[in-house]
Amino acid sequence: MRTTVVLVAIVLLWIAGSAAQQPPARPDNQPGRKWTEQQLRENSGHVRAGRSLNPKVWPNGARVAVAVTFNVNNSANQLARGDTAVVAMTGGEFGAAQGLARVLELLDSHQLPATFFVAPVAASVDPQMLPEITKRKGHEIGVLGWSDEDVVALNDAAEEGRLLKQAVAYVTKAAGRPPVGARGPSGAISLHTMPLLKANGILYDSTLQARDQPYEVLLEGQPSGIVELPVSAYINDYRFLTSARTGPGLLPSPELVFEQFRDEFDVAYEEGTLMVLTLHPHVVGMRSRIIYLDRLIRYMKGKPGVWFATGEEITRYVKQQAGS
């Protein structure tokens, strides 16, 4: 009896051993190649670009619309990750302690409206920020998640919904009115995001990148009514000029970076569309960068027919022009 048990055990172990000698079955990391046409269409069709909402003409006969936008996240993502690193935390704090004031002063000097997408956690850590923005009339506050969380990694519709609702409530209280614009925190949006934005009264998103022009978002192939004011990885200070907390960035020359922003503007101007510039107070608010933002604004203001507007103003205008 005992012999049998031991023999069975040995046989089982032998099988286990020989199985271990087979190459381990690796997860297939290229599943798409086996999908049918139907599956390819469904899987790539959850959130797509619908009709262009670029108007025939911008307000007052302007040729181009420019939205200067800031992501006010400071250390919110670090906090979301539970990272207690002290020095890194000060890299984000720079946004509140120096960067934002510098940015607001520059906007004042040019009398330019801007849109601030704010992570409420960053706002609650430095509560002086939002009053500084709202006391100047003309700027818009939108939401940037709750704590600049990565909603794709989160992959939890209920939790994402809870965080968004909390963020909308925070901004509503702080700004005195509900936000109408959202940008995906950490540059990501999940497959749950768009329906959640609709349910929370958000009129426009500014995260996707399928066009240069404003467009309507399609959800599962159907027009959603959500306006997309597309951003571009090429008109964002972050990856090129990342703050000290994550290293010097991919192209740590503000001169080389801002010349690309100017080229983007030139083509947008020529084509009569939209430019959404994405900046961060803790990145562009540094002394060696803010001077280039000043020069870019001067350059754009030097052209006739440039409409500087908030995301909300642009959204309301293109919606009204498109009759929706």
Does residue 31 belong to the site contacting another protein (CB under 8 A)? Answer: yes
Give the type of residue at 216: E
Does residue 209 belong to the site contacting another protein (CB under 8 A)? Answer: yes
Does residue 224 belong to the site contacting another protein (CB under 8 A)? Answer: no
Largest Cα–Cα separation, the chain:
96
Does residue 175 belong to the site contacting another protein (CB under 8 A)? Answer: no
Q: Which of 264, 295, 296, 301 binds another protein (CB under 8 A)?
A: 264
Distance in Å, CB of 41 to another protein, minimum = 7
Q: Which of 14, 105, 111, 128 binds another protein (CB under 8 A)?
A: 14
Does residue 199 belong to the site contacting another protein (CB under 8 A)? Answer: no
Total of residues contacting another protein (CB under 8 A): 62
Q: Where are the alpha helices (DSSP H) in the chain?
A: 2-21, 37-44, 76-80, 86-94, 100-110, 120-125, 129-134, 151-154, 157-175, 193-199, 237-240, 254-271, 281-284, 287-301, 311-321
Rounded Cα distance between 306 and 298, Å, is 12
Q: Which of 114, 189, 283, 297 binds another protein (CB under 8 A)?
A: 189
Does residue 46 belong to the site contacting another protein (CB under 8 A)? Answer: yes
Decide: helix, strand or coil at residue 58. Answer: strand
Distance in Å, CB of 143 to another protein, minimum = 17
- Looking at 6-14, 111-119, 121-129, 157-165, which segment touches another protein (CB under 8 A)? 6-14
Does residue 62 belong to the site contacting another protein (CB under 8 A)? Answer: no
Site for another protein in 152-171 (CB under 8 A): 152
In Å, how far from its chain's centre is CA 23?
A: 41
Rounded Cα distance between 221 and 82, Å, is 38
The answer to whether 236 and 306 are in contact (CB under 8 A) is no
Going from the C-alpha of 285 to that of each of 58, 104, 173, 181, the distances in angstroms are: 30, 10, 27, 23
Complex with another protein: residue 43 or 111, whichever CB lies closer: 43
- Residues contacting 95, CB < 8 A, separation 6+: 72, 73, 74, 122, 280, 281, 282, 285
Distance in Å, CB of 3 to another protein, minimum = 8
Contact letters for another protein, residues 238-257 (x by CB under 8 A): -xx---------xx-x--xx
Conformation bin of residue 16: beta by default, left when phi > 0, alpha when psi is -120 to 50: alpha
Scanning the structure block, which residue is given the tokens 């923005």? 133
Q: Which of 1, 4, 25, 30 binds another protein (CB under 8 A)?
A: 30
Does residue 296 belong to the site contacting another protein (CB under 8 A)? Answer: no
Residues near another protein (CB under 8 A): 2-3, 6, 9-10, 13-14, 16-17, 20-21, 23-24, 29-33, 37, 40-41, 43-44, 46-49, 152, 184, 187-191, 193-194, 207-212, 230, 232-235, 239-240, 250-251, 253, 256-257, 259-261, 263-264, 266-268
